[in-house]
Amino acid sequence: MSIYSFFEKYFIQPIYTDSGYNVINSITYGILAFLILLGVFKIFKKISFKPDKFFFYSLIPYIFLGSSLRVFTDAKIYSIGFWTVSPGIYFLTAGIFFSVLGISLLIQKKLNVSYWKTTIGFGILILAANFVAVAHLNKFSFSNLTFCFFILALASSTTITLWLCFELLRFSSGKKYFWPFPAHMLDASTTFIAVDFLGGIEKHPLPIFFTNLINTAAIMYLLKLLVLIPFIYFLDKYLEDKDFVSFFVIAIATLGLAEGIRNFLAVLLVF
């Protein structure tokens, strides 16, 4: 197999056929994402920018934006292309976010307006424009509201249970860096309901393997916790740069929230 054939099979075709992930592109995208995050963090360090809870709040409208763009692409409202499916949609959304963040930081410097307020404001406007552009087509309905209720109930109950367990077991790392857990419980809940009850299809190799192995996507809850708990513990206990820890915890939360919101919108908005 030539280099081009290899690249076409594992990277190009999955994008333009929307066939999902494979082991090769999953590992490659993971490494690429890690390197990009390292680069972004170094820039933040250089400009003395601290990634705190307000930074995470400012991300939320853009997470909704990326997730909704993906759902509208699945519904064939937007055409399938590099910028509307993974990994391109992550580059697009991140590009919009960091452009707005840069402008917001300049506004903060000149006008003393908190950057996160400006970033959130712009994000809401862009997100609203995206939904308005689709709403007039009148192509979707809300016929899965019962399933949406169950998703929110499952995500909330598992999140509360985790917090109580962390309190009981005195797992300080989990309590200190709790943000990823509700995000990934939402992702697990939407995947479980969509796959087990609505005929949804999982597109990631590892979850596909375990879901097929035990014949239910409920395994996602366990898989998430088996990764999140030791990873959060490691970051907290063994890394001294707490800004670095916060940044990567936010990145982990963003990934879970993006997938969770995408799946939730796919269930909510029936096209």
Report the Cα–Cα distance between both ends of the chain, in Å, rounded.
40
What is the tens place of the pLDDT at every residue in 80-108? 999 999 999 999 999 999 999 999 999 99
> By CB neighbour count within 10 A (0-12 exposed, 13-18 middle, 19+ buried), where does 19 fall?
exposed
Nearest to 261 by CA among 23, 62, 11, 5: 62
pLDDT at residue number 141: 80
What is the tens place of the pLDDT at every residue in 115-125? 999 999 999 99
Whole-number Cα distances in Å, 222 to 116, 129, 184, 186, 215: 34, 37, 11, 13, 14
pLDDT at residue number 7: 87
Q: Is the Cβ–Cβ distance between 140 and 266 less than 8 Å?
A: no
pLDDT at residue number 138: 67
pLDDT at residue number 63: 98
Task: Give residue for tokens 């206990």.
Answer: 237
Q: Where are the alpha helices (H) located in 136-179, listed in sequence order?
A: 145-169, 172-176
Alpha carbon distance 123, 118 (integer Å): 8
What is the tens place of the pLDDT at every residue in 190-247? 999 999 999 998 888 999 999 999 999 999 999 999 999 999 999 999 999 999 999 9
Question: Above pLDDT 70, what percent of the chain?
Answer: 99
Give Cβ neighbours of residue 88 (< 8 Å, ≥ 6 apart).
15, 81, 82
Confidence of residue 129 (pLDDT cuts 50, 70, 90): very high
pLDDT at residue number 50: 93
For residue 271 the two structure tokens come to: 């096209």
For residue 181 the two structure tokens come to: 């857990």
Task: Give residue for tokens 């939402």.
Answer: 186
Give Cβ neighbours of residue 55 (< 8 Å, ≥ 6 apart).
116, 250
pLDDT at residue number 42: 97
Confidence of residue 41 (pLDDT cuts 50, 70, 90): very high
Confidence of residue 162 (pLDDT cuts 50, 70, 90): very high
Question: Above pLDDT 90, what percent of the chain?
Answer: 83
What is the tens place of the pLDDT at every residue in 141-156? 888 999 999 999 999 9
What is the tens place of the pLDDT at every residue in 189-201? 999 999 999 999 8
Nearest to 101 by CA among 126, 68, 82, 81: 126
Alpha carbon distance 67, 72 (integer Å): 9
pLDDT reading at 176 higher than 70:
yes
Q: What is the dihedral of CA 223, 145, 199, 83, to 10 degrees?
A: -80
Domain ranges of the chain: 1-48, 53-139, 140-271
Q: What is the mean pLDDT of residues 117-137?
A: 93
